[in-house]
Amino acid sequence: MSAVAPDSGYTTGELQTIVAARSLAGKRSCFIGVGRPSTAALLARIVHNPKLVLVYESGTIGAKPHRVPLSIGDGELAQTADLVVSVPEMFNYWIGPGQVQVAFLGAAQVDRHANLNSTVIGDYDHPRTRLPGAGGAPEIATGCAEVVVIAPHGRRTFVERLDFMTTRGERTTLVITDLGVLEPRDGELTLTTLHPGVTVEQVQEATGWDLRVADQIAVSPQPSERELAALRELVNR
Amino acid sequence: MSAVAPDSGYTTGELQTIVAARSLAGKRSCFIGVGRPSTAALLARIVHNPKLVLVYESGTIGAKPHRVPLSIGDGELAQTADLVVSVPEMFNYWIGPGQVQVAFLGAAQVDRHANLNSTVIGDYDHPRTRLPGAGGAPEIATGCAEVVVIAPHGRRTFVERLDFMTTRGERTTLVITDLGVLEPRDGELTLTTLHPGVTVEQVQEATGWDLRVADQIAVSPQPSERELAALRELVNR
Amino acid sequence: MAELVSLQEAVAAVVKDGDSVALEGFTHLIPFAAGHELLRQGRRELELIRMTPDLLYDQMIGVGAARKLVFSYGGNPGVGSLHRFRDAIEHGWPGPLEVEEHSHAGMANRYVAGASKLPFMVMRGYSGTDLVAHTNVRQIACPFTGELLTAVPALNPDVAIVHAQEADRDGNVQLWGIPGVQKEAVLAADRSLVTVERIVERLEPRPGGVVIPGWVIDYVAHAPGGSQPSYALGITERDNDFYREWDVISRDREQFQVWMQAHVLGGEGA
Amino acid sequence: MAELVSLQEAVAAVVKDGDSVALEGFTHLIPFAAGHELLRQGRRELELIRMTPDLLYDQMIGVGAARKLVFSYGGNPGVGSLHRFRDAIEHGWPGPLEVEEHSHAGMANRYVAGASKLPFMVMRGYSGTDLVAHTNVRQIACPFTGELLTAVPALNPDVAIVHAQEADRDGNVQLWGIPGVQKEAVLAADRSLVTVERIVERLEPRPGGVVIPGWVIDYVAHAPGGSQPSYALGITERDNDFYREWDVISRDREQFQVWMQAHVLGGEGA
């Protein structure tokens, strides 16, 4: 994921983060977890959308962290938030009724309908790998109007059949990977955008089902100098 | 109600308030509305029970008003409370689950099972007198462990049949009137205590049903000088 | 994102004839100024929703602005009756008033359901009372224990109007003191207006502060003193004397009308 | 009324073998000191309840104190796996661990039901996921609209333990920062213990302050630093480095055991 893309001055991970950040231009509010989604949302506030409201499931609404937080409950999130609510209030008044517009989610497995597995690999009662579990994802994915999935593109992740259906994919609008972008077309994820230097065949090869490809395929714009500089400054804070 | 009791230096209303205050000795917390219940509870904090926690349905828990508040939402209640909660939290987390031990309630009509009417006199759709309605009473009366009803003793109030059943009486432990005290015995209100100078016949006359009388009738102790002085100082604040 | 506009513009933008309108504030922060402006603009056929109608709804009912009242306690707190409310129900004056009544716990949970965009909420209450036969609640069985509980239907008013101490220029609002059901009312409503005592550069977090972000509010209007004779903790005081005076003013139909004309309908902003 | 006692006394008084125990704190204010004391006292066969098991339950599971785990997210936030949690589920080490899992929204509403002493709460969620077949939720129809929703059963733990910034001598507690589900856990439980950073003469109301009155708490114990490596906002900082180190310490069974013996089981208070 952090391999350097051919003939470029950035890693594929950096590009994925930058593309995710771009998707938040013009959005009002975004629900984010830790890791790359958090980095992307902070980058969006710097480059595209300074008014973007960041919501973390710990209860911090309108958090303005200077550094990328390690956990969703870091002190800086509470200290910079417009309001801090209890976990029941977060889910009942903010997430469930759709007050938060966009959600960034990750997952260990994604299927062609953008359903997600973050529970187990293998059988539920005798799992090969026990994953962390649902967390807030199931209700976030059905509460927010738009869901953006951020995941590494490979056959372990993009699978024909989920080992466990943790989270429903019907509100997913974008799946942003390190190879390109998939979007639902008639309910099935379809390759619509390639990152620079990536081929359709590469993406199909990295997908565990017979991936649909849009008639017109776009290519993600290269990271701008501003985007790259802002991202690198951000992660080094 | 504020007539001077024969051969005494206090009004029957003062005595009623003082008897109500005494009932809060040794109690942990009390839910109160405005008027006489509020005065009685404040008096209890002065004379009998300085640690008594006062709870008003406006959301103020542990209020310590210096003056008897006019409304249940006076500013002093919020300013002196240990915590102030929303109305949903008040009913769902504090009243409903029985966190508040005693409730003081009033009513326009009381029946022999201590059921209360505070909704209408006459027919519901064409009332002779439209009363304020339920407010918090129904859930307070089923949430708190002990309910104390404070009402003026007369045939308009103590009725054979309620015009409207607003609030169930099964948790009522005391009905304190300006004539005496009724307590449930096998589910029916029974005269157990007379105020000084009042006769059983007077109470029966002022009750709209054939009132049961306990075998042993107590007489309320006269207001002490300390009680009377504290009450008068309180209402003059 | 909340727009900061004048009280007149805000009320004109959010309330139409026939709307269901919740002006909330539990004793504290009752939005009198907005309610009065709505009357000056001549709104009619309203479904008025409020846990405690208080003087404000007594006034609105008395001038004939309401078609229906949804409430849980219709008294003048600590004083006695709401005479215009009683006159409307007892004698149909100035016109018939449909009534839908609940307990406080029921209304509070109806707002919770509304804010949660759930069709109902579950509670213990109502059962065994005469309210069941006269209002819209249903029995529901717990699917785990079989216990019979009460379901109350969500309240999602067309409009919610509340008053708060302050807002910043982005329309973020902060109130403190008794919070009532204001947050729930704003989140439950289709459209919302918050009137505020003052506009500040930045909301300073306060003990007991309830913040409602501007992006869930439609309009914010500056209305200093806008909750009098109710109050805004720390800024204005409850005018308890006026609550007592209202008992006299409102007792007589004509005296009420003269007072309303002089103090509300012909007043500023008319 | 809460009794102010030592941590050892408090833990001994509230937790028995076999209890269902909720040590709550959402990332913030996780009651590590109380959890460690409970392990030093040798408690076993516990039903551990927590939305986010975090390092504390990884430790408790790893030493074999748990019979069952009730949770909604079992990860090391921002770092990766909880290795002892995984080892217990994947390989039954050090013993079998029964699992009951939910979503965050489900767990939060289960605590709400518990605090409200209602047998269940209603929400939208679970439907269409594989969780339905593996956990204890039921479908419920809205009696007004017919919509099918999800009912989650109340959580009423035998014991709730939470950490807060301060308490006064009457055992009234105040916490601020991320409040999580701590208030709900305390109100829902049969017995409760709050550990605090400091005892103060008087609780000064603070922005975001959540006050839990002493009369709904059984024990309060002074435990400065008691939520480390989690944190108490304004007093201690989250030890993010330790969260990363734990990934190494906990990966290997033996290394884990050595660390626990050195830092928890043989530590102070043993």
- pLDDT digit string, tens, across residues C51-64: 999 999 999 999 99
Binned at pLDDT 50, 70 and 90, residue B205 comes out as: very high
Binned at pLDDT 50, 70 and 90, residue D89 comes out as: very high
| Cα B31 versus chain centre, distance | 10
Structural domain that includes position C98: 3-103+155-265
Binned at pLDDT 50, 70 and 90, residue A5 comes out as: low
What total of structural domains would you count in chain D?
A: 2
Those chains having 3 or more beta-carbon pairs within 8 angstroms of chain C are A, B, D
User: Is B92 close to D116, i.e. CB distance below 8 A?
Assistant: yes
- pLDDT digit string, tens, across residues D142-183: 999 999 999 999 999 999 999 999 999 999 999 999 999 999
Look at phi and psi of residue A26 and say left if phi exceeds 0, alpha if psi is from -120 to 50, else beta.
Answer: left
Identify the sign of the CA torsion A223, A225, A229, A230.
negative
Residue position matching structure tokens 């439609």:
C218
- pLDDT digit string, tens, across residues A67-110: 999 888 888 999 999 999 999 999 999 999 999 999 999 999 99
Those chains having 3 or more beta-carbon pairs within 8 angstroms of chain D are A, B, C
User: Is B92 close to D172, i.e. CB distance below 8 A?
Assistant: no
- pLDDT digit string, tens, across residues B88-113: 999 999 999 999 999 999 999 999 99
Residue D99 covered by a domain: yes
Residues above pLDDT 70, as percent of chain D = 99
Query: Which of A54, A92, A100, A142 would best serve as a mutation to test chain C binding (most C beta carbons within 10 A)?
Result: A92
Residue D196 covered by a domain: yes
Per-residue pLDDT, averaged over C59-87, amounts to: 97
Q: Which two tokens stand for residue B171?
A: 């948790």
User: What pLDDT shows up at residue D219?
Assistant: 98
Q: Is D206 on the interface with C (CB under 8 A)?
A: yes
Radius of gyration of chain C measured on its C-alpha atoms: 18
Name the amino acid, one letter, at A81: A
> C14 and C80: one domain?
yes
Last residue of a domain, one of C138, C153, C168: C153
State the complex-level ipTM.
0.96
> C71 and C135: one domain?
no
User: Is C143 close to D139, i.e. CB distance below 8 A?
Assistant: yes
User: What pLDDT shows up at residue C269?
Assistant: 43
Residue pair D234/B47 in contact by the 8 Å Cβ criterion? no
User: Is D109 close to A91, i.e. CB distance below 8 A?
Assistant: yes
Name the amino acid, one letter, at A34: V
User: What pLDDT shows up at residue C119?
Assistant: 98
Which residue of A lies nearest to C173 if distances are taken between CA atoms? A82
User: What pLDDT shows up at residue B72?
Assistant: 84
| A104 to A34, A39, B231, C215, D232: CA distances (angstroms) | 10, 11, 62, 20, 28
> D68 and D98: one domain?
yes
> C141 and C191: one domain?
no
pLDDT greater than 90 at residue B33: no
CATH architecture assigned to B12-231: 3-Layer(aba) Sandwich (3.40)
Binned at pLDDT 50, 70 and 90, residue A7 comes out as: low
Residues in chain C within 8 Å Cβ distance of D149: 118-119
| Cα B79 versus chain centre, distance | 25
Q: Is A230 helix (H, G, I), strand (E, B) or coil?
A: helix
d(CA A11, CA A226): 15
Residues above pLDDT 90, as percent of chain B = 90
- Looking at C106-238, which runs of residues are DSSP E strands? 120-123, 138-141, 148-153, 159-167, 173-175, 191-199, 210-212, 219-222
User: What pLDDT shows up at residue A2?
Assistant: 46
Residue pair B11/B82 in contact by the 8 Å Cβ criterion? no
> C161 and C149: one domain?
no
Q: Is A97 on the interface with D (CB under 8 A)?
A: no
Domains in chain A: boundaries: 12-231
User: What pLDDT shows up at residue B6?
Assistant: 53
User: What pLDDT shows up at residue B5?
Assistant: 52
Taking the CA of residue B186 as centre, how many other CA atoms within 13 Å lie in the half-sphere pointing to its CB?
A: 3
> D37 and D127: one domain?
no
Residues 6+ positions from B209 with CB-CB distance below 8 Å: B111, B112, B158, B159, B160
> D73 and D148: one domain?
no
Residues 6+ positions from C65 with CB-CB distance below 8 Å: C38, C39, C43, C44, C46, C48
Query: Which of C144, C149, C156, C233 would best serve as a mutation to test chain D binding (most D beta carbons within 10 A)?
Result: C144
Nearest-Cα distance to chain B for C214, in Å, is: 20
Give the Cα-Cα-Cα angle A213, D129, A109 (nearest 5 degrees): 45
Binned at pLDDT 50, 70 and 90, residue A36 comes out as: confident
Residue D132 covered by a domain: yes
Radius of gyration of chain B measured on its C-alpha atoms: 17
Residue pair A61/A87 in contact by the 8 Å Cβ criterion? no
Number of Cβ pairs closer than 8 Å across C and D? 61
> C144 and C253: one domain?
no
Kind plus residue range of the DSSP H or E element containing D221: strand D219-222
Classify residue D173 as exposed, middle or buried by CB count within 10 Å of its CB (0-12, 13-18, 19+).
buried
Binned at pLDDT 50, 70 and 90, residue A1 comes out as: very low
Residue C110 covered by a domain: no
Residues in chain D within 8 Å Cβ distance of A39: none
Kind plus residue range of the DSSP H or E element containing A158: none
Eight-state DSSP code of residue A145:
S
> D136 and D66: one domain?
no
Number of Cβ pairs closer than 8 Å across A and D? 164
Q: What does the buried/exposed string (b/e) look like for D58-78 if buried means 16 or more CB atoms within 10 Å of the residue's CB?
A: bbbbbbbbbbebbbbbbbbbb
Name the residue among D117, D172, D211 with its Cβ closest to that of B97: D117
Q: What is the mean pLDDT of chain C?
A: 97
Nearest-Cα distance to chain B for D107, in Å, is: 17
Q: Is C1 on the interface with A (CB under 8 A)?
A: yes
Query: Which of B27, B31, B92, B144 would best serve as a mutation to test chain D binding (most D beta carbons within 10 A)?
Result: B92
Per-residue pLDDT, averaged over B153-168, amounts to: 98
Residue D230 covered by a domain: yes
User: What pLDDT shows up at residue D267?
Assistant: 56
| C46 to C42, C59, C95: CA distances (angstroms) | 11, 13, 13
Q: Is A121 on the interface with D (CB under 8 A)?
A: no
Residues in chain D within 8 Å Cβ distance of B53: 213, 215
d(CA C156, CA C191): 10
| A51 to A21, A72, A94, A222, C174: CA distances (angstroms) | 14, 20, 18, 24, 19
Query: With helix as H, strand as E and coil as C, how does B5-65 read?
Result: CCCCCCEHHHHHHHHHHHCCCCCCEEECCCCHHHHHHHHHHHHCCCCCEEECCCCEEEECC
Residue pair D234/D209 in contact by the 8 Å Cβ criterion? no
Residue D112 covered by a domain: no
- pLDDT digit string, tens, across residues A149-163: 999 999 999 999 999
> D148 and D30: one domain?
no
Is B57 an annotated catalytic residue?
Answer: yes
> D177 and D256: one domain?
yes
Q: Is C209 on the interface with D (CB under 8 A)?
A: yes
CATH of the domain at D165: 3.40.1080.10
Those chains having 3 or more beta-carbon pairs within 8 angstroms of chain B are C, D
Residue position matching structure tokens 């938030």:
A81
Classify residue A215 as exposed, middle or buried by CB count within 10 Å of its CB (0-12, 13-18, 19+).
exposed
User: What pLDDT shows up at residue A107?
Assistant: 92
Kind plus residue range of the DSSP H or E element containing A225: helix A225-235
User: What pLDDT shows up at residue C270?
Assistant: 38
pLDDT greater than 50 at residue D109: yes
d(CA C186, CA A87): 20
Q: Looking at the DSSP assignment, which residues form a beta bridge with residue A11?
A: A4
User: What pLDDT shows up at residue A3?
Assistant: 52
pLDDT greater than 80 at residue A143: yes
> D128 and D243: one domain?
no
Residue C112 covered by a domain: no
Residues in chain B within 8 Å Cβ distance of C73: 132-136
